[in-house]
Structure 1
Amino acid sequence: MFFFPVLVVSSRNVITVTFAASRINQELAKEGIPLPFGSRFWASNWPTGKSPLPGLIVHLIPSIIVIIAPPPAVAYPFILDIEGYPGQIINFFIVIGLFWLRYRKPNVHRPFRVWWPFAVFFLAASAFLLVAPFLKPSNGVGDTPPLPYYLYCLVGIAIMVTGVLYWAGWRVLLPRVFGYELIPRKETLDDGTVITLFSRRKLKNQ
């Protein structure tokens, strides 16, 4: 009986995170980020017209890899670590962006203004959580032996850097090298989903 509440809470967390991740994947496809087989499928609500199953498939593929790749005994804590570390990176840059907006656009109307000591504390906490995992633990191995204690940090950073490089290559580097620009246009799918698609237009001076 003790494990039943834990099972229920864990299941709700998994379902919530999975659905949220599938929606994020769908939104990326709706913004025109190039994916295999085209953005239309991944941005759609196929087959029901109500839920983002294609986005869930995108979430499923790396999830299976992360579950299978590490040793079975440490797969679960390793997954939790990988999930948490990139989130702290995002939190860190969100607070940096908040301070940047406060500095560059101080007079913009804001429905809510966070009290800056809270933002400073949140920034310090995020910075600590980004640095602390690289400090060698007292047992020397962390909670995912035989994997290095810092491996999940490197994996999380590598995933985010790969995403940034992928976007930069598609949006900046390739157009500059081959002399074209990406022209956005809107398209409505059969299920009512509005997506952004890009077409290439050759630059005249190229």
Structure 2
Amino acid sequence: MANKKQLFEKVKATGTGAHIILQKSIGYFSGLNLLLGIIVGSGIFISPAGVLRYSRLNVGVALSIWAASGVMSMLGALCYTELGTALPSSGGDYYYVKRGLGPFPAFLLLLVDIILCMPVATSIKAITFAEYATKPFYTDCPTPEMVKKVIAMAVVIILTAVNGVTIKGALWVQKIFTILKMQCLVLIAIGGLVEMAKGNTKNLENAFDGEVPTVAQICLAFYQGLFAYGGWNGLNKAEEEVKNTSKNVPRCIITAVPLVIVFYLLVNISYMAVLTPKEMVSSAAVAVTWANKTIGPFSWIIPLSVAISTFGSINGSMFLQARLNYAASKEGHLPAILSMLHINYLTPAPAIIFSSILSIIFIIPSNLSLLMIYSGFASWLMVGLTCISLIVLRFREPNLHRPYKVFLPFAFVMAAASFFLVLSPIIQEPEVEYIYGVLLMLSGFIFYIPFVHFKLKFRIFDRITSYIQLLMEVSPPDSTSESKTH
């Protein structure tokens, strides 16, 4: 008991005397690496088959969707650049919707993001990592599901430890693995160009011949493509840690997103130059199938490179997941324990652990296609409301300092496109998964009214928070010091 009292005094003293705040450790190159590392993950290695499948094996339509997904991501990134430079606070979409549309819609979207979108994205990447990491050991048969799930859970736990102990270490992991993954994309892009130079262009000829997909199928194809571009708004969730926000956020976004668009188009053209549409949609690992046909005995390089790429993307996703939990907790929309920082490492350890637990839960079903649809539906609803918040703030707060201003019609286009992506599949081909997503969002009423609006508290929760605080050696951030950093 005495030890606990001493620890409590240590936490209490540290939380009020020392500066317990998130450090500004992300510069331009760190931010660029973080963005590239998050965007280029599992998507480019698993989405091409899905885009082609929903495009009815129409190569021209599939490539058009990849290009349009890139343009849409760029427009969205520009909208988020304005919001990020005008409102430099961690939390991203959640914080912008709260400022523009109010706390209640922000809370409803927060639930979907922290319980569904972000954990699902991390679990997809973890499963993909396990798929490719084990490929060299299961050359003639699929990897057993149990093996994939155990490895996926293990990598989440390892990166939880890294992110919980050191922010600089997590950023260094991101830098190293981003460089390695970009080398993989360069290899695939060059390999495709070499094959085309040899005259292997049959699969790309008459690209638009074939069946035309329905509107609902096009939306589902967009979900797959946009999932691969997912993460373009990631830096906005960690803005409290970005140095010189007004300069570095726009620079990072405007550099990273166009670079990814170019690489994604080249990689898809490479896949389609080497593989027939039927080979692509029937392959569990498109990049590996491509490698077997092009580089033969050295094909093991590709699954290794994909595993490396996905590992780095998982690290980035977990980094941002924790920041969203941290920001929402500071706003009073999540339990207070999630906004506390470790007194020695200055990391949001409780928020990181909470995110990891949710990600591990979503690894259990391991249905990638279903998880992507689930995630796409919810995440694009948030993008649409964020763009509406931008429009509202332009008119309601015209004097707000905006270091960067996006061409306002871009925000209207993004809002309309986002709601089209959300509503079209529900109307044309309703699935039970969409109902679950809506129910999850509406369940926010149950928690918001008593616990957020009326601030209902129970002593037992305070005791639990104190016990966890003692156990994890975490303290509330120093709000005085934090405000000075802005």
Deviation for aligned residue 1:93: 0.7
Post-superposition offset of 1:100 = 1.5
Tell me: higher relative CO, structure 1 or 2? Use CA pairs within 8 A at least 6 residues apart.
2
Structure 2 distance, partners of 1:54, 1:22, is 8
1:1-206 correspondence to structure 2 within 5 Å: 1-33=301-333, 35=335, 39=336, 41-46=337-342, 48-68=344-364, 70=365, 72=366, 74=367, 76-136=368-428, 150-163=431-444, 165-173=446-454, 193-194=477-478
- Contact kept? 2:343, 2:474, Cα under 8 Å: no
Counterparts in 2 of 1:109 and 1:18: CA distance versus 1, 3 Å: closer
Partner secondary structure for residue 2 of structure 1: helix
Letter in 1 for 2:349: L
Q: Distance in 2 between matches of 1:96 and 1:192?
A: 33
Shift of the alpha carbon at 1:20?
0.7
Post-superposition offset of 1:34: 5.2
- In 2, the alpha carbon distance for the partners of 1:152 and 1:63 equals 18
Q: Which has the higher strand share?
A: 1
Partners of 1:29 and 1:42 within 8 A in 2:
yes
List per-residue Cα deviations over 1:130-164 (Å, max 9, x = no partner).
11332556xxxxxxxxxxx7344333333333345
- Is residue 86–residue 156 contact of structure 1 (8 Å, CA) maintained in 2? yes
CA contact (8 A) 1:133 1:153 kept: no
Residue 96 of structure 1, CA deviation: 1.0
Aligned letter for 2:309?
V
8 Å CA contact 2:323–2:351 kept in 1: the answer is yes
Q: Can you list the C-alpha shifts for 1:33-71, whole angstroms capped at 9, x where unaligned?
A: 453xxx2x4322337533222112211232233232x3x
Alignment RMSD, CA only? 3.0
CA apart distance, 1:90: 1.3
Return the alpha-carbon distance in structure 1 between the equivalents of residues 474 and 414 of structure 2. 43
Name the one with the larger helix percent.
Answer: 2
User: CA contact under 8 A between 1:86 and 1:160: conserved in structure 2?
Assistant: no
The 1:86–1:116 alpha-carbon spacing in structure 2 relative to 1, beyond 3 Å, is same
Whether the 8 Å CA contact 1:43–1:55 is kept in 2: the answer is: yes
Unaligned runs of 5+ in 2: 1-300, 457-472, 480-486
Secondary structure of the residue aligned to 2:443 is: helix
Q: Is the 8 A contact 2:343 2:475 kept in 1?
A: no
Distance 1:63 1:194, change over 3 A: same
Larger-Rg structure? 2
Aligned mates of 2:382, 2:309 — CA distance in 1: 25
Task: Give the equivalent residue in structure 2 for 1:181.
Answer: none
Instruction: Find the counterpart in structure 2 of residue 178 from structure 1.
Output: none
Scaled by the length of structure 2, the TM-score of the pair is 0.30
Aligned twin of 1:141: none
Shift in alpha-carbon separation, 1:131–1:108, aligned structure 2, 3 A: same
**Residues 163 and 14 (structure 1 numbering): CA distance in 2 closer, same or farther, change over 3 Å?**
farther
Does the C-alpha gap of structure 1 residues 167 and 100 become closer, same or farther in structure 2, counting only changes over 3 Å?
same
AA partner of residue 133 (structure 1): P
Q: Distance in 1 between matches of 2:394 and 2:332?
A: 30
Rounded to whole Å, the distance in 1 between the matches of 2:318 and 2:375 is: 12
Say how many residue pairs are matched.
163
Q: Which residue identity lines up with residue 431 of structure 2 in the other structure?
A: Y
- Contact 2:377/2:422 (CA < 8 Å) preserved in 1? yes
In 2 relative to 1, CA 33–118 (structure 1 residues): closer, same or farther, beyond 3 Å?
A: closer
Does the C-alpha gap of structure 1 residues 60 and 109 become closer, same or farther in structure 2, counting only changes over 3 Å? closer
Percent sequence identity over aligned pairs: 25
SS of residue in 1 equivalent to 2:402: coil
Q: Which amino acid aligns with 2:350?
A: P
* Structure 2 CA distance for aligned equivalents of residues 194 and 164 of structure 1: 31
